[in-house]
Structure 1
Amino acid sequence: MTSTWFITGTSSGFGRLLTERLLARGDRVAATLRRPEALDDLRAEYGDRLWTARLDVTDPAQAERVVGDAFAELGEIDVIVNNAGYGVFASVEEATDEQIRRVIDTNLLGSIHVIRAALPHLRAQGHGRILQVSTAGGQTTYPGFGYYHASKWGIEGFCETVAREIAPFGITLTIVEPGATPTGFGASLDTAPPMPEYAATPAGEVRKALTDSTFVLPNDPERIAQAMIDLVDSGAAPLRLPLGSDTYDDIRASLTARLAEHDAHRNTAYAVVSEEISGTQEQR
């Protein structure tokens, strides 16, 4: 049985890999990107099973129009994949205002625009699922990626809320968290001129690793794309899907440390509860 997928950011990386694999197995793909001509080779091979449209996810009106056009022309869409993204590496002081706006507009607001545009259509058809591509950096942090983390932690909080809100409509949402993967993301990573003050800091060390290509990229992009397809095929709908050994290990370490710190403040947290409520809790 064939499925229809709507995928953003399909010119390269996971978006391109997903599009190729899905078309090869017989599915239909609504592929959106800033330069539709980048998929001319796939259109020539797969014909009308590939629907393309120009989309800048930072434009809410454009997102609503393109999503609406895809549903109107293709009928039911089974899977929405929010994949378009922008990465910036810079310490908090180094990044420009333009870079900060772009990473928030693309990764956070752009994903929100697409989800908001798709939900009325998914509700109307009574089924569907959303895959939100995030990263290990949606639950843990690395020096020099502060603004990227701001966008990814933000979209994960938004999506966790959305997942609970849309469950009654038969719609599911999974946050996919790939780790460091050689998809070309690093090559397209935006940077800012380094400040010498940060050279001997953790941010400077990460910058050096990126510059001299010693930053480890342990994961296979093809396997990550296939894991996303396999998840949909299985019918399982976890809230989060970590993909990559670094994702699993780093997020687990972060969650463990956060829980330990959280528990260390239990007495202080309870000490500020009003006496009336505190007495009620003790009676329980």
Structure 2
Amino acid sequence: MVDKVYEKYGAIDVLVNNAGYGLFGAAEELTDQEAAKIIATNLTGSIQMIRAVTPFMREQQAGRIIQISSYGGQVAFAGNSMYHATKWGIEGFCESVAQELAPFNIGVTIVEPGDARTEFHYGSAQVAELMPEYDNNPAYAFLTMLDPVNGLAAGDPERMATKIIESAAIEPAPLRMVLGSQALDSTIQTLEKRVADFKKQTELAASTDF
């Protein structure tokens, strides 16, 4: 498909990797097939698309790769283990590739949206076969989130899409773009706690040096 697009238009200006879905349930509840499918969709598919467009963008010395991730690529919640595995994975891949492609004038942006009124919550979400052993467990907090009776998500998908499109013209390309105030607040709180935890390990880290 990438070959056909390049043959038709003579250039590939922007790649947007947007394929993805949520898979909810405790890690133990997920089948091998469910785990493999979400990895193929959310992680491997995006990796292969980026690898496919890279030769064309490198040759033309220009291009922009926009990878849709999630604030779940920085923050983790119980009951979302495989989803987080794919998002944390694609973020690490993209952060590395961004450094490789910068000399060719190819920008990479990781988009980290918060909750939005899309089919992610209210249509495409897949739920494992739940086990009674996990009743009243943090793993099942997602059930409240997926129920529209408890209120719709705050994020406006049209406004988010507009900001994503506008980002393609920003120079230099922003490595990350968080969409949604709740997502930003949660991400900052999580990262601040992570940094604080790391700083407590100064003595431990040094104790393993020669």
Q: Is TM-score (shorter-chain normalized) higher than 0.5?
A: yes
In the alignment, structure 1 residue 177 sits paired with structure 2 residue 112: yes
1:239 is the counterpart of 2:143 = no
- d(CA) in 2 for partners of 1:212 and 1:242? 24
Relative to the length of structure 1, the TM-score reads 0.71
Q: 1:32-111 residue pairs with structure 2 within 5 A? A: 66-111=1-46
Structure 1 residues 219 and 165, CA gap change in structure 2 (3 angstroms) = same
What amino acid sits opposite 1:101 in the alignment?
A
- Whether contact under 8 Å (1:144, 1:207) holds in the other structure is no
| Superposed CA offset, 1:226-257 (max 9, x none) | 00111123334111000111210111111011
**1-side partners of 2:80 and 2:151: how far apart?**
14
Task: Work out whether residues 12 and 53 of structure 2, in 8 Å CA contact, stay in contact via their aligned partners in 1.
Answer: no
Deviation by residue 1:136-182 (Cα, 9 ceiling, x = unmatched): 10011112111000000000000000000111111010001111101
Q: Which structure is richer in relative contact order (CA contacts within 8 A, separation 6 or more)?
A: 2
Q: Does residue 248 in structure 1 map to residue 184 in structure 2?
A: yes
Q: Give the superposition deviation at 1:201.
A: 1.3
Is 1:197 aligned to residue 133 of structure 2?
yes
Q: Give the AA of the match of 2:35.
A: I
Of the candidates 113, 116, 119, which is equivalent to residue 48 of structure 2? 113
The residue identity in structure 2 corresponding to 1:251 is: T
CA distance in 2, matches of 1:100, 1:91: 12
Which secondary structure state, in structure 2, belongs to the residue aligned with residue 235 of structure 1? coil
CA contact 2:24–2:127 (8 Å) conserved in 1: yes
Q: How many residues align?
A: 209
Q: 1:106-133 CA distances to partner (integer Å, 9 max, x unpaired)?
A: 1110000000000000011110110000
> Residue 93 of structure 1: SS of its match in structure 2?
helix
1:216 Cα deviation from its structure 2 partner: 5.2
Question: C-alpha displacement at 1:197, in angstroms?
Answer: 1.6
Tell me the alpha carbon deviations over residues 34-83 of structure 1, each in whole angstroms, 9 at most, x when there is no partner.
Answer: xxxxxxxxxxxxxxxxxxxxxxxxxxxxxxxx111111111112111011
Unpaired runs of at least 5, structure 2 = none
Following the alignment from structure 1 to structure 2, what is the Cα–Cα distance between the partners of residues 141 and 225?
A: 24
Q: Cα offset for 1:195?
A: 1.1
CA distance in 2, matches of 1:121, 1:212: 43
- 2:150 maps to 214
Listed as ranges, the matches of 1:121-200 within 5 Å are 121-186=56-121, 187-200=123-136
Q: Is the 8 A contact 2:6 2:12 kept in 1?
A: yes
**Alignment identity in percent?**
44
Q: In structure 2, give the amino acid aligned to 1:100.
A: A
- Quick check: 1:126–1:169 contact (8 Å CA) kept in 2? yes
The aligned residue for residue 271 of structure 1 is: 207
Shift of 1:215: 6.2
Find the aligned partners of 1:165 and 1:225 in 2 and give their Cα distance: 27
Q: Pick which of 229-238 and 262-271 moved more.
A: 229-238
| TM-score of the two chains, using structure 2 as the length reference | 0.95
Runs of 4+ deviating beyond 3 Å: none
